[in-house]
């Protein structure tokens, strides 16, 4: 079996400056079985320029609803090249659902692009259902989908909660992953959940006041419990206003600069219900994994080629989590985008994600 060094393409930290990495001087760590050699090169001098822009909109060539059990049905779609390299997109939340724009990170001539909505999210049914909805269920669902599509291995792409699920899946099924592209790292530790619920008030006090102020003062000592009680109430008159408040709060904190479109998207009824109810469900139950499980088992993924893209000013998923992950997985390529927050559509983050997908075309 190859060692971590012999399998790695390059190691170390790459800090993206300005508007991308093309033509900029980078430090790569080339590895052999016996020694790692650090060499400075200029990408433009040694390789054709990599694309940095999203691909044009495309439509799926196949789609369906996959029965998972007697209750849940999962929406899936495939687009791009039916004979291409498989890549699976994992949406955030949990519960946010995927959108047509998510297909655009990938070259449709090269990739067989698999997009799906996780249990209870987006076009999967029932919307917002938390029955039998846990991280182990989602990992198993990915395997059901992989077998349904007759895919042996796939490149796994996920951001925010999508990075959480990607790590959990890769640690459970490393041989099924040809690579990992992760953005806005969320390890779902108690400190991260506490930051989301209370710490964000230090950066977004107006958004936090609206979020916390929706809950009666007597219940604000445990915002998660107060929201979870309302979000799981069967009456839409109770759960929908709470869901919209949660969604708008997360949307308001997701970008470096104010973006009303992002806030409106997160506050829309379909996204808000799936996102808020399922997030609160997973947060309440520590994502149904042992504490610190993702970092403790990072050794299982060290032979998988990987890229981590992190906004320096990501308020929703602060950079400390990406830093901790890279320390546990030093073989991964690590890009810190200096002028970005959390969202995948932040210009610098979007460029780095497209570049990562372009690189994996040649691995």
CATH number for the domain including 118? Answer: 3.40.50.1820
Residue 316 falls within a domain, yes or no? yes
Cα–Cα distance, 178 to 331 (Å, whole number): 15
Quick check: 234 pLDDT over 50? yes
Quick check: 143 pLDDT over 90? yes
Neighbours of 270 (CB within 10 A): 15
Examine the domain organization and report whether 174 and 66 are in the same domain: yes
- Confidence category of residue 119, pLDDT binned at 50, 70, 90: very high
pLDDT for the residue numbered 180: 98
pLDDT for the residue numbered 6: 33
Using alpha carbons only, give the angle 80, 169, 263 rounded to the nearest 5 degrees. 70
- The residue that leads in pLDDT, 340 or 45, is 340
Cα–Cα distance, 325 to 221 (Å, whole number): 31
Examine the domain organization and report whether 158 and 304 are in the same domain: yes
Examine the domain organization and report whether 294 and 176 are in the same domain: yes
Residue 89 falls within a domain, yes or no? yes
Tell me if residue 342 is catalytic: yes
Quick check: 34 pLDDT over 90? no
Please state which of the ranges 43-57, 180-194, 205-219, 344-358 shows the lowest mean pLDDT. Answer: 43-57
Query: Under a CB-based contact definition with an 8 Å cutoff, are residues 133 and 278 in contact?
Result: yes
Examine the domain organization and report whether 268 and 302 are in the same domain: no
Examine the domain organization and report whether 181 and 294 are in the same domain: yes
Q: pTM for this structure?
A: 0.87
Instruction: Please state the rounded mean pLDDT for residues 259-271.
Output: 95
Structural domain count, the chain: 2
Residue 166 falls within a domain, yes or no? yes
Look up the domain containing 101 and give its range: 62-188+290-360
Query: Under a CB-based contact definition with an 8 Å cutoff, are residues 61 and 78 in contact?
Result: yes
Cα–Cα distance, 111 to 80 (Å, whole number): 6
Quick check: 21 pLDDT over 60? no
Examine the domain organization and report whether 250 and 134 are in the same domain: no
Angstrom CA distances, 88 to 80, 149, 197, stand at 12, 11, 30
Q: Which one from 107, 117, 303, 314 is the annotated catalytic residue?
A: 314
Quick check: 14 pLDDT over 80? no
| CB burial of residue 22 (10 Å; 0-12, 13-18, 19+) | middle
Beta strands 306-311 and 25-31, pairing class: unpaired
Tell me the per-residue pLDDT of 92-115, one tens digit each, with 9 for 90 and over.
999 999 999 999 999 999 999 999
Query: Under a CB-based contact definition with an 8 Å cutoff, are residues 193 and 179 in contact?
Result: no
Examine the domain organization and report whether 261 and 179 are in the same domain: no
Examine the domain organization and report whether 184 and 326 are in the same domain: yes
Q: Which one from 79, 124, 160, 321 is the annotated catalytic residue?
A: 160
Quick check: 331 pLDDT over 50? yes
Q: Which of 287, 319, 341 is where one domain is finished?
A: 287
Cα–Cα distance, 294 to 68 (Å, whole number): 25
Using alpha carbons only, give the angle 333, 334, 337 rounded to the nearest 5 degrees. 140
Examine the domain organization and report whether 131 and 169 are in the same domain: yes
Tell me if residue 225 is catalytic: no
- Confidence category of residue 15, pLDDT binned at 50, 70, 90: very low
Q: Would you state the torsion angle of the CA atoms of residues 241, 246, 251, 252, taken in this order, to the nearest 10 degrees?
A: 90
Angstrom CA distances, 245 to 109, 175, 197, 240, 275, stand at 41, 41, 13, 9, 11
Percentage of the chain beyond pLDDT 90 is: 86
Quick check: 241 pLDDT over 70? yes
Six token digits for residue 22? 């093309």
Most confident of 34-38, 44-48, 258-262: 258-262
Quick check: 231 pLDDT over 60? yes
Query: Under a CB-based contact definition with an 8 Å cutoff, are residues 209 and 250 in contact?
Result: no
Give the mean pLDDT of the chain. Answer: 89
Q: Identify the CA nearest to 134 among candidates 182, 197, 59, 68.
A: 68
Tell me the per-residue pLDDT of 163-211, one tens digit each, with 9 for 90 and over.
999 999 999 999 999 999 999 999 999 999 999 999 999 999 999 999 9
Residue 294 falls within a domain, yes or no? yes
Instruction: Please state the rounded mean pLDDT for residues 251-277.
Output: 96
pLDDT for the residue numbered 47: 55
Q: Which one from 11, 72, 91, 342 is the annotated catalytic residue?
A: 342
Q: Identify the CA nearest to 223 among candidates 196, 254, 205.
A: 196
Quick check: 23 pLDDT over 60? no
Tell me if residue 160 is catalytic: yes
Q: Which of 287, 305, 327 is where one domain is finished?
A: 287
**DSSP H stretches of helix in 181-222:** 190-197, 205-213
Residue 45 falls within a domain, yes or no? no
- Tokens 């182990």 identify what position? 136
- Confidence category of residue 363, pLDDT binned at 50, 70, 90: confident
Examine the domain organization and report whether 328 and 272 are in the same domain: no
Examine the domain organization and report whether 108 and 133 are in the same domain: yes
Q: Identify the CA nearest to 262 among candidates 274, 270, 254.
A: 254
Q: Which of 261, 287, 313 is where one domain is finished?
A: 287
Examine the domain organization and report whether 175 and 294 are in the same domain: yes
Residue 112 falls within a domain, yes or no? yes
Instruction: Please state the rounded mean pLDDT for residues 231-236.
Output: 98
Residue 274 falls within a domain, yes or no? yes
Residue 243 falls within a domain, yes or no? yes
Instruction: Please state the rounded mean pLDDT for residues 203-222.
Output: 98
- Tokens 């088992």 identify what position? 297
């Amino acid at each position: 079996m190859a060692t971590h060094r012999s399998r790695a393409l390059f190691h170390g930290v790459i800090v993206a400056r300005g508007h991308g990495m093309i033509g900029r001087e980078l430090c790569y760590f080339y590895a052999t079985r016996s020694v790692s050699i650090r060499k400075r090169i200029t990408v433009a001098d040694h390789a054709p320029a990599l694309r940095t822009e999203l691909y044009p909109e495309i439509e799926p060539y196949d789609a369906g609803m996959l029965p998972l059990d007697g209750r849940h049905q999962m929406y899936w779609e495939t687009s791009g090249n039916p004979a291409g390299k498989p890549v699976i997109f994992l949406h955030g939340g949990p519960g946010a659902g995927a959108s047509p724009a998510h297909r655009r990170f990938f070259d449709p001539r090269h990739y067989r692009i698999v997009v799906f909505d996780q249990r209870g999210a987006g076009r999967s049914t029932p919307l917002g259902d938390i029955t039998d909805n846990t991280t182990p269920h989602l990992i198993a669902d990915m395997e059901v989908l992989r077998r349904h599509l007759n895919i042996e291995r796939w490149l796994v792409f996920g951001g925010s909660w999508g990075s959480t699920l990607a790590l959990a899946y890769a640690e459970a099924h490393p041989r099924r992953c040809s690579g990992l592209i992760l953005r806005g790292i969320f390890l779902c530790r108690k400190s991260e959940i506490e930051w989301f619920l209370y710490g964000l008030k230090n950066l977004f006090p107006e958004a936090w006041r609206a979020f916390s102020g929706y809950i009666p003062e007597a219940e604000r000592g445990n915002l998660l419990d107060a929201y979870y009680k309302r979000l799981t109430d069967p009456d839409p008159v109770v759960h929908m206003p709470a869901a919209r408040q949660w969604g708008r709060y997360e949307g308001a904190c997701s970008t470096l600069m104010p973006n009303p479109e992002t806030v409106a998207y997160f506050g829309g009824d379909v996204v808000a219900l799936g996102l808020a109810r399922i997030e609160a469900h997973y947060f309440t139950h520590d994502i149904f994994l042992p504490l610190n499980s993702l970092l403790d088992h990072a050794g299982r993924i060290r032979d998988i080629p990987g890229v981590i893209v992190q906004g320096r000013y990501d308020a929703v998923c602060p950079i400390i989590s990406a830093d901790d992950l890279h320390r546990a997985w030093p073989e991964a390529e690590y890009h810190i985008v200096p002028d970005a927050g959390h969202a995948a559509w932040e210009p610098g983050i979007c460029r780095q994600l497209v570049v990562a997908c372009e690189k994996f075309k040649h691995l």
